[in-house]
Amino acid sequence: MDTVKNFLGHLHTINAHKAEVMRLCFRVGLYRQGLLHDLSKYTPGEFLSGVKYYDGSKSPNSVERNLTGKSEAWLHHKGRNRHHFEYWTDYGVKSGAPMEGIKMPVRYVVEMFCDRVAASKTYNPDTYDCSYPFKYFMKNRSHYMMHPDTERLLGKLLLMLMLYGEDDTLRYIRNRVMKNCDKY
């Protein structure tokens, strides 16, 4: 394992991803979220794990999970970043109820949309097209523990991206979705 190569590669990947999420968030009016997006990836627990499991082709969290059975970095990350639906899980209201997805505030669903688009671009730089995020969502959604309203909005935005492209979808989000949303 070449530690310097992994360090630089991982740093480049998270910087490129963060820059793309910021660009997308800014286009829909989420300036603060764009600036603060994924800062936990620079903390020692997440960053050093990312360097250790970096292979340049997929998330180091996936590599770590496949090798060890869990990803310590992911467990840290999802618990601190509200744009991940996994952050929004809790036990149901009734006594003895199982875990369930909690409805996410719209601004975090929009940031999650931006995150997924940026991740698709970051990990598929030569082959990305606007269908990637929707296809990934459809392939994995059966095991998501996501509130139905959150799933519906995210799915709608990803489908719009695939059908109408980035500019039209971001314009729709900014002018329609974010209109009645508390953006702070």
Q: Give me the residue spans of the domains in the chain.
A: 3-177
State yes or no: pLDDT of 146 exceeds 90: yes
What is residue 1's predicted lDDT score, i.e. its pLDDT?
Answer: 58
- Which structure tokens are listed for 45? 């627990």
Three-state secondary structure call for residue 90: strand
- Return the beta strands (E) in the chain as ranges: 89-91, 99-101
Q: For residue 154, is pLDDT > 80?
A: yes
Q: For residue range 44-88, list pLDDT tens digits in order.
A: 999 999 999 999 888 999 999 999 999 999 999 999 999 999 999
Contact between residue 122 and residue 11 where contact means Cβ atoms under 8 Å apart: no
Supply the mean pLDDT for the chain: 95
Residue 128 has pLDDT above 70, yes or no: yes
Q: Could you tell me the pLDDT band of residue 181, with boundaries at 50, 70 and 90?
A: confident
